[in-house]
Structure 1
């Protein structure tokens, strides 16, 4: 006799499974919209794992035992936990003062010249204690969880020296161990050259490759990232650095085509990068080249809240990317300078309004494709037997309402690994 379910969600108005597409690569093209929605459905779990999903008419009532927790979600939507695939979780201080200065007309370069910008966050991060940074990271993770984020990528990048960068990665891992949201660390020491290496980006990258990469274990910090942009690192500098990271067994990521079309996305895709992030200046032709170079396995992570917060007019042409066959994911890019928001629902909504995504495409972009972008597709991103029981109960009866209620948090309950999280 089959073991009784430990947790059963029943009578859902809709179950957004995100299942039914290819299993060997991220969703792209029509696959972004053809995943299965079950009307009047259920999700059954055993311990931390989903074991059955389907319409209520197919529920095996014989597996409902005295110890089964039954959650009646009548009139509500069930979906996978959100996957947040691009954040800068650990940093000191904030830049609220600079936000005020921007609103009063000061440019980014003016603020940078006065000692502000990323370097102000670097100073505050270096000066902060481990306890302060950990408390801040845990606070932000709690905020993400309330929006339904159950897995989150956390980049370093605000230390810009060997010791502090290693410290930020260690604290990100600690934060992941102390609460329920899964944290996937990424090394972004190559954010910009550290202040001690001003004007010497190649020397800075050499230091990272010689002193930091050997100190990291790809099993603990699986990805290496770099900011390929004017004022940061060139395409060729980025290529050499990423090749060295690849040789050491790291997965690759890149910040590219945020402000200029330099060719960083295509270069990274040719090296097998899991994701190319920002992409605001990536052309449709460039998107097709990225898709071809990677065989459709490199995900374009789009960050719509960044141009919104920076009051820029240029948004990544997500609709054209999809038509070019490039897989897309969405993220907030949570950070103190260009997106101090944890609201991934708002990112989804702005992607529909400004990037041309449909509701179904946007939902795939914050779940399964986001999981592919951080190598977690085997465990999360969809409601399927064998996946981790990361389940959201939403306060809407139909997924089409999710992009409509602008800025609202639709999450009623969050379950991570089958355990309900605090409200």
Structure 2
């Protein structure tokens, strides 16, 4: 459309516009840059169709581009910011694990429950038993919940099938759910979540060989990333390395669940292989974080999941402050899943990241927008308010960025715009 075309949507008179602009175009925000992005006081965001076309101060607004069809949103007294990006969720699954919540309250650990056949394996049984229609209905229900929290782009991991047909079904359901409602869904293949019962005797390497031989070739064009859980009770470091190396040769982007419960070296190994993100990181040391930042040239994002240790009643949280000070880019997500984080409240995750991981409010907002977009390869299209990006814009019932993590557990959403649609 011509530069003189009337705006289709104008969000105006915002107390603050959190642009997330000013970053290097070739890497996520790290170090001082994580809080060095631009805030516009008393500003506006203008959209044309599904794209942002102008962002600035109200006294710079081009009034000539307002027409009779321009929809106006008055954001007086409000923060306007990019749509939230959820870069680590397990969206598609059957059943729930409320019964295990009670077991945890009685003192059983996450790994104890998994070893007894519960945990992930419990959800695998429920997911395998669910029909595709049931899984899709559940996914759509959860996506509507995410939208109400201001999430406009979301990664959906598989991993609760652990057999060929169910794992492919989970990826297919995630993609279909994305097509049926406005929140963008980015599928990731986590078939290497744990070893399924059918491979208990054969072991982790045999199951990984099965995935490489029987499943990954059918995922080309369906999922951009593969992920693996490198942890005691799941996959050891050498098997995780082998899997990621082979998946990379097949053209997949790489992710890893690592250093959640023990320091096994999975994050550093995955970064060495060029992983887009390393996730959990609660036991990642600041020294290892500095090495990851250096060897990845600041391109591997550490995805922090603060609601997981909170829900599992663990004392150990990722050393987010030290990661940032050592130059490692960080993102924040919920890890929404039925076992270790049955919450879609990314705002609460930002508060806990500040309280328990040492992030500042500006850093936390960047971690759940632009850096989260980098963590799932969507930085070209979302995560900041800049001309040319998709018009995913939030209007919040708070007046400053400092208030966002301050109101603990509250949902500050007033208006959600996705792709220019209010």
Q: CA–CA distance in 2 between the matches of 1:17 and 1:365? A: 13
2:76 aligned with 1:74: yes
Distance 1:272 1:43, change over 3 A: same
**Distance of aligned partners of 1:108 and 1:42 in 2 relative to their CA distance in 1, 3 Å threshold:** closer
Identify the residue that residue 150 of structure 1 maps to in structure 2: 152
> 2:104 touches 2:110 (CA, 8 Å); kept in 1?
yes
Q: Deviations over 1:246-304 (max 9, x none)?
A: 11111100001111111111111111100000000000000011111101000000000
Moved over 6 A (4+): none
1:183-238 C-alpha deviation (Å, 9 max, x unpaired): 00000000011111114000000000000111111x33100000111111111111
Return the TM-score normalized by structure 1: 0.98
Of 320, 325, 330 in structure 2, the residue corresponding to residue 328 of structure 1 is 330
Aligned to 1:389: 391
Distance 1:6 1:367 in 2: 24
Q: 175, 199, 205: which is aligned to 1:202?
A: 205
Q: 1:235 maps to which residue?
A: 237
* 1:59 is aligned to 2:61: yes
Q: Which moved more, 1:94-103 or 1:341-350?
A: 94-103
C-alpha distance in 2 between matches for 1:119 and 1:347:
26
User: CA 1:100–1:21 in 2, change beyond 3 Å: closer, same or farther?
Assistant: same
Residue 31 in 1 paired to residue 33 in 2?
yes
Evaluate the alpha carbon distance shift between residue 197 and residue 294 of structure 1 in structure 2; reply closer, same or farther with a 3 A threshold. Answer: same
Counterpart for residue 351 of structure 2: 349
**Counterpart among 241, 244, 247 of residue 245 in structure 1:** 247
Q: Please state how far the C-alpha of 1:109 moved relative to its aligned partner.
A: 4.9
Secondary structure of the 1:402 match is helix
Q: How many residues are aligned here?
A: 419
User: Which whole-Å CA distance do the structure 1 matches of 2:121 and 2:50 have between them?
Assistant: 42
Structure 1 72/378 Cα, relative in aligned 2: closer, same or farther at 3 Å? same
**SS of alignment partner, residue 17 of structure 2:** strand
- Matching residue of 1:310: 312
2-side partners of 1:105 and 1:267: how far apart?
Answer: 33
The two structures, once aligned, show a CA RMSD in angstroms of 1.0
Of residues 181, 188, 191, the one that matches 1:189 is: 191
Gaps of 5+ in 1: none
TM-score normalised to structure 2 length: 0.98
CA distance in 1, matches of 2:290, 2:117: 40
Structural mapping, 1:226-305, within 5 Å:
226-305=228-307
